[in-house]
A and B are shown apart, each in its own frame.
Chain A
Amino acid sequence: MRNFLPILTVVAAIVVLWYGAAVKLNSAWVYDQATRAGADVPAFSQVVSETMNQDRPVLPTPHQVVAELWKSTVGMAITSKRSLVYHGWITLSATLLGFAIGTGLGVLLAVGIIHNRAMDMSVMPWAIASQTIPILAIAPMIIVVLNSLGLQGLVPKAIISAYLSFFPVVVGMVKGLRSPDQMQLDLLKTYNASSAAAFWKLRVPSSMPYLFASLKVGIAASLVGAIVGELPTGAVAGLGARLLSGSYYGQTVQIWAALFAAAIVAAGMVIVIGMIERGTLKRMGMVR
């Protein structure tokens, strides 16, 4: 309970600021309408009430976004093309597949980097370079190339998603697998332990806290990758498509609802990883 009060306070402050900003940003349209109709300058209270429920507000109010979220999730069949659950699932499935590929690739690269000097010297600069290329530039090319190979839909998005998520996993796992100190390595040497034994019994368990920290960053990056991957294909399906079609048609409420859906999905995934982390570390005796 103690944790709720500060959280609620912050949320309340954000909501107040948001309403204030909505009134300010949406009032221009109210004044415009009044001028065109040749009417008197409307009173402030009237302006406020007319900024609350516009069809195409510059900034939708919180209750509009909540209502849209409610309407397009609970108030609609999941199979509907306008259901955020439908679009959310499409994005989520690409995110999860991409995250799995990215994590697998990241762990493999990290294992290679710590065991092979040539990889140690060569892989990291390329991994860093890969992240300096704007994903928006590279995503359409991946879509086009894979499309010409006959791959459409889920896989190209998952690959873009993996492209973003492997990086934090490589960085975290290299650090994690190298975290045992010299004394620990000397100890294993006195047992004449093989490097496989050192890997499984010392390096892997030591790297677990680093792995989970990386996974949390990686899953969020995966979601961004999946959404970006939905943009170049045109507004077909997924949260990215909802964002794109919303901006095509000036549907700001739809854009904000899709943004919030994405944020909720991301928060959910981070929470799930956090729970797995707690469970794992607890079983390993590393949480007191």
Chain B
Amino acid sequence: MRDLAGPEGDGLMKDTINTAAPVIEARNLDLTFDTADGAVHALKDVSLTISKGEFVSFIGPSGCGKTTFLRCIAALETPTAGTLTVNGMTPDEARRKRAYGYVFQAAGLYPWRTIAGNIRLPLEIMGFDRAEQEARVERVLDLVELTGFGKKFPWQLSGGMQQRASIARALAFDADLLLMDEPFGALDEIVRDRLNEELLKLWARTEKTIGFVTHSIPEAVYLSTKIVVMSPRPGRITDVIDSPLPKERPLDIRDSREFIEIAHRVREGLRHGHGDDV
């Protein structure tokens, strides 16, 4: 528990010096897909370090490789060159050790299971005993503010609640790393704001490391301690911004001067990335 300090309370835009061991370390990562139309360079020379307790957003237009990078961390894709470690292991070893929880854009709940049953799914697969399963389901339901909804079926819940249930499912087995691939992309802005606020609270309570893919600038700036700006063809990192915003972030922080400055820098980064080939 000694590494929990993280970048918290460091109000400077300079690179923070992290004493913590890196959770994710990518060095010169390359990934090419062979498609019928020839090779697609999905990632090119991507280097990034993510420390414990950070909230890192990946932002960029479609095709910039943000989701691919997240999938590489999850060992759902294999890089063609470079090195990538998760908790000091290869991504596949980390996956086998169940090092991360993954949240997809769609909630993907099983319609034939109740909300509690869906959250129990990873626990059943990982062989937790019955009592432990129940206790964990109750705890994560509470964590995502769905207490009392365990017995409902997914179709009885709104889209936002379903996505919260899918976050609970990813939290249930206590992985220290949470990877989220545009989890709120399909939700309307009001629900999204609310879930962003809740996600920050959840992050503060659980002290997890979070990798978060988004294409919304306000979302990225509001949530992150570190914003990774990416650009397409080939997918690469154009800017890494360490956020000077405090860890405690009410929604109206989005009107502050600092917030607007960071948003501006992200937008500049995105525009710069596009200038190369458009």
By a beta-carbon cutoff of 8 Å, the part of chain A in contact with chain B is: 183-184, 186-194, 197, 201-202, 205, 208, 284-286, 288
B106 within 8 A of A: yes
Other 9 A-B pairs with CB < 8 A, given A194-B125, A284-B112: A183-B104, A186-B104, A187-B102, A187-B104, A192-B96, A192-B98, A205-B112, A285-B113, A285-B153
CB distance from A279 to the nearest CB of B (A): 14
CB distance from A277 to the nearest CB of B (A): 14
Contact A201 B121 (CB under 8 A): yes
* B110 contact from A189, A191, A205, Cβ within 8 A: A205
Contact B110 A202 (CB under 8 A): yes
By a beta-carbon cutoff of 8 Å, the part of chain B in contact with chain A is: 74, 76, 95-96, 98, 100-102, 104, 106, 108, 110-114, 121-122, 124-126, 153, 155, 173
A183 to B111, CA, bound (A): 15
21 contacts between A and B (CB under 8 A): A186-B76, A186-B102, A187-B102, A187-B108, A188-B125, A189-B95, A191-B173, A192-B95, A192-B98, A192-B125, A192-B126, A193-B125, A201-B125, A202-B110, A205-B110, A205-B112, A208-B112, A285-B111, A285-B114, A285-B153, A286-B112
Question: How many residue pairs at the A-B interface have CB separations less than 8 Å?
Answer: 51
* B155 contact from A187, A192, A194, A288, Cβ within 8 A: A288
Name the residue on A nearest B104 (C-beta): A183
* B95 contact from A183, A190, A284, Cβ within 8 A: A190
Contacts of A208 in B (CB 8 A): 112
Contacts of A197 in B (CB 8 A): 124-125
A201 to B117, CA, bound (A): 11
Name the residue on A nearest B111 (C-beta): A286
A190 to B95, CA, bound (A): 6
A134 to B98, CA, bound (A): 54
The 3 closest A-B pairs by CB, nearest first: A284-B112, A285-B153, A190-B102
